[in-house]
Amino acid sequence: MDTRPRRDLDTAQGELRALHAEVDDRARALAAKHVDRLQCTRGCAQCCVDDLTVFAVEAVHIRRHHAALLREGAPHPTGACAFLSEDGACRIYRERPYVCRTQGLPLRWFDPAGAVPVERRDICPLEDTGPPITELADGDCWLLGPYEARLAEIQQRLDEAAGAPENRVALRSLFLRAT
């Protein structure tokens, strides 16, 4: 029996856990800089939107840690993230995907729409207190791109080992029971 696919998946899961831990550390430090501005609390779920997709490696991570929930539970009603509980808490918080780990923080990215990329910034409307995000130092914003690229590399190595690319996976589709 060839154990390579299992070993490759286990390696990818280890890389994912390390990436998530690094993101959490960096996000925690950035959140500390913005403690007066951040209003995120349990039950605030405006950023927990429906139809989010994740790389397959993150879907596997959720499946491995929440098999019973996915088998026996039901997704949150359509319109918000499938993993929200009735009181607005995340039912998979420790294993939440990358996209959920930086919510609420001031974000910056470069939009390559024109001949010259343009810097863009955004923040949750609830967090839009304090100095305008356009005035924040670059290091006081979460830069979109580098961690997403590392996550894509983990997925690509896993795809190459499996011999076939995986598509992104809708979080709602992980539940075995329909809404």
Greatest mean pLDDT range, 5-9, 50-54, 159-163: 50-54
pLDDT tens digits along 30-83: 999 988 888 777 777 888 899 899 999 999 999 999 999 999 999 999 999 999
Q: How confident is the model at residue 178 (pLDDT cuts 50, 70, 90)?
A: low
Question: Do the domain assignments include residue 179?
Answer: no
Residue 117 to residue 62: CA distance in whole angstroms: 35
What is the count of structural domains for the chain?
1
Q: Is the pTM of this model over 0.75?
A: yes
pLDDT at 32: 93
pLDDT at 130: 79
The 3-state DSSP class for residue 72 equals: helix
pLDDT tens digits along 70-84: 999 999 999 999 999
By residue range, what is the domain housing residue 96?
A: 4-174
pLDDT at 22: 98
Question: Do the domain assignments include residue 43?
Answer: yes
Range 105-118 average pLDDT? 85
Q: How confident is the model at residue 167 (pLDDT cuts 50, 70, 90)?
A: confident
DSSP single-letter state for residue 143:
E
Question: Do the domain assignments include residue 46?
Answer: yes
Question: Do the domain assignments include residue 23?
Answer: yes
CB 126 within 8 A of CB 44: yes
Cβ partners under 8 Å of residue 142, min gap 6: 26, 27, 30, 102, 105, 106, 107, 108
Least confident range from 90-94, 121-125, 141-145: namely: 121-125
